[in-house]
Structure 1
Amino acid sequence: MAERGEEDNAATLLRRASEALADAKASDSATVRVAEAGEEDAPVDRLAAELRQAIEHGDIDILFQPQVSVSTGAIVGVEALARWDHAMLGMIGADALFAAAARADLEIGLSDHIQRIVMARATAWPAALSGLRLSLNLTAGDIARPGFADLFLDRIDASGFPRRRLTLEITESGLIEDLGIAATLLATLRSAGCRIAIDDFGTGYSSLAYLKSLPLDYLKIDKKLSQDITGTVRDRVVVRGVIDMARSLGLSVIAEGVETTEQLDLLAKEGCQYYQGFLCSEPVDVVTLLRLVEAQAKI
């Protein structure tokens, strides 16, 4: 249990970070949610009509984006990301996939399908990847499902992938209606050996409520905040506040969307421990991931 002074310090940082985020949102440099290129233009009705067949035919694929230690430069984990290489529309990402699934009433089916693929792929990784952590996204629908914790843990165990190497990411934007139910579910998964991360932190107004209510291990800074660190003094103050707040609460910090060495250097100075983004690699298949890890090991 934290000492009283540590709790007070955390509460102060929560308040200051909340004020800083609100100030930033009201300024000319306000943080905004940026849609993935092309995804918002995807005709959701068409995708919804074709999605069931895509699932049945195995057209939904999984790519892995490396997560890198800031201090050592080593690839220490990956985030699993669903992709659909559509014959007419090109590469469709997870946001459009789940929008189509919602339209087709296939959200649970799609989530189950992705989880099974991810666990099967990771279990079959070659030995050189056996030390990596695997991050897998849970949806709001997963969290609301009765009995999901037991179902999901059985799925992990059946795959043979170690629970201790699995991090479950929950997305802050549009995440949770009942924080009590979510906290109970995530506590069960965490006590079973999994780790918990809050994704896209800084994109909405419920962030601080999630931090106070949910059992977390990692905070993932939204890519817009990560990239804004090279902007104005105010931008950097906001990022610093988020990192200080997270670390005072005992959370490890992962910066998403890091694309330049300048961004990485500034994030490192503020105490960020891990990053992912195009500076290291775009999301890749297992063969390319293996090459990246082996190349890094030779440095």
Structure 2
Amino acid sequence: MPVPVPTHDRRRRADRRRAEPHPISEELSAALAGDAVQILFQPQYRSTDSSLAGAEALVRWKHPELGELAGDAIVSIAQSGGITRRLARHIARAAFSAAAHWPAGLHLSLNVTAMDLFDRTFGEDLLEMLADSGFPPERLTLEITEQALVADLDRSARKLSWLAESGIQIALDDFGAGFCNFRYLKVLPLHSLKLDRSMIDGITTCERDLAVLRGIVAMAKALNIAVTAEGIETEDQRAVIVQEGCEVWQGYLGEKPMPIDGFQELACA
């Protein structure tokens, strides 16, 4: 018969397991040190004439065994190893450095996680990195997902309002994918909504889907909030979102995410 393990011993062992970094997180740490974590840019276009409006910064890591890993997977690995702060600053610093060489007028969108919002020095560090790079705060948009807000909406609103006062734009990302809590629209300093691709998929074939899109755009207009549509893959989809009043779009109809040098060439073409 096994001997029962005292509760305090079980807790101590559990704490020890949590303290031990995951092997993959150690590999990610080494990849960050060696600049193996890549920043890509997904081009964004103005609906009026499909001219280039800017880009969203995305993170990729080519793991030797697991293959190419993207945003959420990389953030999860970083969280397991306690290096989310380091990852966030690596992404921001690289994106700002590249965007500082873009032509005037192009905007950069940067994803923000719940860990970022709960990081006490996140806002100050972000502004410091912007100042070091020379990229204007007015051309930066922070994209916030619902998942990043649910833990403490009021605290998130205060931090985002402080950043908005510095000129930074705030966007609610993946709108339509979650619960769509309308309180977000009341308390957050939002400049734009970014529609999840699930809000776009049926707009050319389903009247109900089109009606939902129209309702969201009308609500946003009433609140003086711009609308960005992501996941645009066909010319018919682009034509609909232009007709319905979305200001910006992104998707494979334009370009797939591209390396820093590739976007620089596109921007300066």
TM score, norm. by length of structure 2: 0.86
Q: Is 1:269 matched up with 2:246?
A: no
Within-5 A mapping of 1:84-103? 84-103=61-80
- Cα 1:211–1:171 change in 2 (3 A) is same
Note if contact 2:40-2:60 (Cα within 8 Å) is conserved in structure 1. yes
In structure 1, the residue matched to 2:11 is none
Coordinate RMSD, CA, aligned: 1.7
CA distance in structure 2 between the partners assigned to 1:287 and 1:174 by the alignment? 31
Identity, in percent, stands at: 40
In structure 2, the residue matched to 1:108 is 85
Instruction: Tell me which structure has the larger Cα radius of gyration.
Output: 2
In structure 1, the residue matched to 2:203 is 229
Note if contact 1:183-1:214 (Cα within 8 Å) is conserved in structure 2. yes
CA distance in structure 1 between the partners assigned to 2:147 and 2:175 by the alignment? 8
Q: Is 1:120 matched up with 2:94?
A: no
- Cα 1:147–1:50 change in 2 (3 A) is closer
The counterpart of 2:139, out of the listed 149, 165, 188, is 165
Secondary structure of the equivalent of 2:151? coil
The one-letter code matched in structure 2 to 1:99 is S
CA offsets per residue over residues 41-98 of structure 1, 9 Å max, x none? xxxx663342111111111111111110111110011111111122232221101101
Note if contact 1:173-1:200 (Cα within 8 Å) is conserved in structure 2. no
Secondary structure of the equivalent of 1:180? helix
Q: Is 1:81 matched up with 2:58?
A: yes
Within-5 A mapping of 1:202-217? 202-217=176-191
CA offsets per residue over residues 183-217 of structure 1, 9 Å max, x none? 11111111111111111001111432211210010
The one-letter code matched in structure 2 to 1:185 is K
The one-letter code matched in structure 1 to 2:220 is A
- Cα 1:54–1:268 change in 2 (3 A) is same
Note if contact 1:255-1:275 (Cα within 8 Å) is conserved in structure 2. yes
The counterpart of 1:200, out of the listed 174, 177, 181, is 174
In structure 1, the residue matched to 2:212 is 238
In structure 1, the residue matched to 2:48 is 71
The one-letter code matched in structure 1 to 2:168 is C
Unaligned ranges ≥5, structure 1: 1-44
Q: How many residues align?
A: 248
Note if contact 2:228-2:247 (Cα within 8 Å) is conserved in structure 1. yes
Note if contact 1:243-1:253 (Cα within 8 Å) is conserved in structure 2. yes
In structure 1, the residue matched to 2:32 is 55
Secondary structure of the equivalent of 1:134? strand
Q: Is 1:139 matched up with 2:116?
A: no
Q: Is 1:252 matched up with 2:226?
A: yes
Unaligned ranges ≥5, structure 2: 1-21
TM score, norm. by length of structure 1: 0.78
